[in-house]
Amino acid sequence: MAKQSFESSHQHLSQGEVARDRAVVLKVIGPGDPSESVGDVDPIAEITALADTAGVDIVDSVLQKRPKPHTATYVGKGKLEELAHVAKEHEAHLILIDDPISPAQGRNIEEVTELRVVDRSELIMDIFARNARTHQAQIQIELAQLKYFQSRLTRMWTHLSRMEGGAVGTRGPGETQLETDRRIIRKKISILNKRLAEIEKQANTQNKSREGSFRIALVGYTNAGKSTLMKRLTGAEILVEDRLFSTLDTSTRKWELELPFDVLLSDTVGFIRKLPHDLVASFHATLMEAREADILLHVIDASSPTVDFDMESVDRTLNKIGCGDHQCWLVFNKLDRIPEERKIDLQHLLAEHENSFAISAGTGAGVELLVEKIVELGQQRQESGSYLIPHARADLIAKLRQSSRIDEERFVDEGIEINVLFQPGMKQRWENVLTQAGIPFDGI
């Protein structure tokens, strides 16, 4: 089967919107796979959900238990022949591999099945491409796709060496097209990297304007309920869908709490097991909100049978993006969906982890306690002070109101007594102003 060139190949899955492709899943079940450790876990549940999001129907699966994938063919020869038979029987269009695979593995599977092979990385990137709504997200996913296909161009052009009549007369054009595609990719990668650098520079400028704010970021496994919680806490009109990767663009909203400074809540892109490295690297600017946050709220789908694996995947990704040392609270969500027999497991998780909460973002159960604890945390970072300002310098009080909250104000013969609740970092600035004005501030 002739392979497609780079320009058309990476757009193949998107055509599923018109006519859904049928696919057979190929998966190696090795040590550490959730289905091996947790009872009643469908080993292809997640890849099936990913495929559905990408507009592909799973018609069957071929599974093999082995310590690690075969270096050349991913699975053994017998399983590969079984795969070809199953795919032909179901008239499948695609083979989906529930792992990232090498170009050689993909080429060898394609030669046996005569069908296009899509691995987990390519599938996830296709979903990201479908859901990217902002210019920034579109640039990031295009950059990740380009880097992914850069190492696979040779595989895409091997069909030239399989033409009848031998290699004479075919090698030159093939190499020319291959080099052309490589040059196109290198140029596009350079352009997109420059655009992302500009976006990140703008984001850094915006971050400086948010200094003094209490910044909170929602992180977690894809479809854990982060957007639903964001809507519950802030009332923001944001997209909420029960599907994987419905949120790709970080959205930040002001959260009205009883604190003397702005509280900003950010909803970030969801994580997943075996998240492509190029995707994490490309979304560096988007994930800045998590890196710059004062605290992370790790939202967890407590109803998931693979909750422990989901948490570990998020922790690994947080370490990759430089958030491993951030203060992080665990928010076990979807309390209303947990089966009765598994509620004891949730109690154990809550007992094991300090600063953990059980909530339902959908119904609102448990959210009040979470908000209460967030306010308490905010109050801990709040600075206060009492001052006596001469009547002649009432202008200083007017300026102070712009950046902090005056909790109490009393007019006395000597001046104006004020009790102030400062925004973070503002107390020292204010007292520097008083020093320059020659006003003592040792207390009233």
Domain span holding position 138: 6-183
Give the pLDDT confidence of 290-303 residue by residue, as tens digits. 888 999 999 999 99
In a domain, 128, yes or no: yes
Strands (E) across 112-181 are located at: 116-119
In a domain, 66, yes or no: yes
Does 319 share its domain with 415? no
- What is the reported pLDDT for 11? 47
* Range with the largest mean pLDDT of 127-136, 166-175, 215-224, 229-238: 215-224
Contact 420, 430 (CB under 8 A): yes
Give the Cα separation of 378 and 435 in Å (integer).
28
Does 422 share its domain with 323? no
Q: Residue 9: pLDDT band by 50, 70, 90 thresholds? A: very low
**42: CATH:** 3.40.50.11060
Please tell me which residue, 126 or 58, carries the higher pLDDT value.
Answer: 58
Does 366 share its domain with 327? yes
**Is residue 128's pLDDT more than 90?**
no
Does 394 share its domain with 333? no
Does 157 share its domain with 90? yes
Q: Is the pTM of this model over 0.85?
A: no
- What is the reported pLDDT for 172? 45
Does 111 share its domain with 216? no
Does 315 share its domain with 412? no
Does 368 share its domain with 423? no
**Is residue 29's pLDDT more than 60?**
yes
* Range with the largest mean pLDDT of 57-66, 179-188, 388-397: 57-66
Does 226 share its domain with 334? yes
Least confident of 126-135, 206-215, 394-403: 206-215
**Is residue 159's pLDDT more than 80?**
no
Does 110 share its domain with 157? yes
Give the pLDDT confidence of 326-335 residue by residue, as tens digits. 999 999 999 9
Q: How many domains does the chain have?
A: 3
> What value does the mean pLDDT of the chain take?
84
Q: Residue 313: pLDDT band by 50, 70, 90 thresholds? A: very high
Please tell me which residue, 369 or 185, carries the higher pLDDT value.
Answer: 369
- What is the reported pLDDT for 206? 67
In a domain, 206, yes or no: no
Concatenated DSSP letters of 80-112: HHHHHHHHHHTT-SEEEESS---HHHHHHHHHH
Angle between helices 77-89 and 103-113 (to 10 degrees): 50
Q: Can you tell me the mean pLDDT for 81-92?
A: 96
- What is the reported pLDDT for 22? 95
**Is residue 160's pLDDT more than 80?**
no
Contact 174, 161 (CB under 8 A): yes
Q: Can you tell me the mean pLDDT for 125-145?
A: 85
Give the Cα separation of 118 and 400 in Å (integer).
60
Q: Which helix (H) or strand (E) holds 388?
A: strand 383-389
Please tell me which residue, 175 or 163, carries the higher pLDDT value.
Answer: 175
Q: Residue 156: pLDDT band by 50, 70, 90 thresholds? A: low
pLDDT cut 90: percent of the chain above it: 49
**Is residue 174's pLDDT more than 70?**
no
Give the pLDDT confidence of 191-206 residue by residue, as tens digits. 999 998 888 788 777 6
Give the pLDDT confidence of 250-298 residue by residue, as tens digits. 788 999 998 878 899 998 888 888 888 888 877 776 688 888 899 999 9
Q: Can you tell me the mean pLDDT for 162-181?
A: 52
Does 297 share its domain with 416? no
How far apart are the two ends of the chain, measured CA to CA in Å? 86
* Domain's final residue, options 336, 354, 379: 379
Does 334 share its domain with 421? no
**256: CATH:** 3.40.50.300
Q: Residue 441: pLDDT band by 50, 70, 90 thresholds? A: confident
- What is the reported pLDDT for 372? 96
- What is the reported pLDDT for 168? 39
Biggest distance spanned by C-alpha atoms of the chain = 105
Please tell me which residue, 220 or 12, carries the higher pLDDT value.
Answer: 220
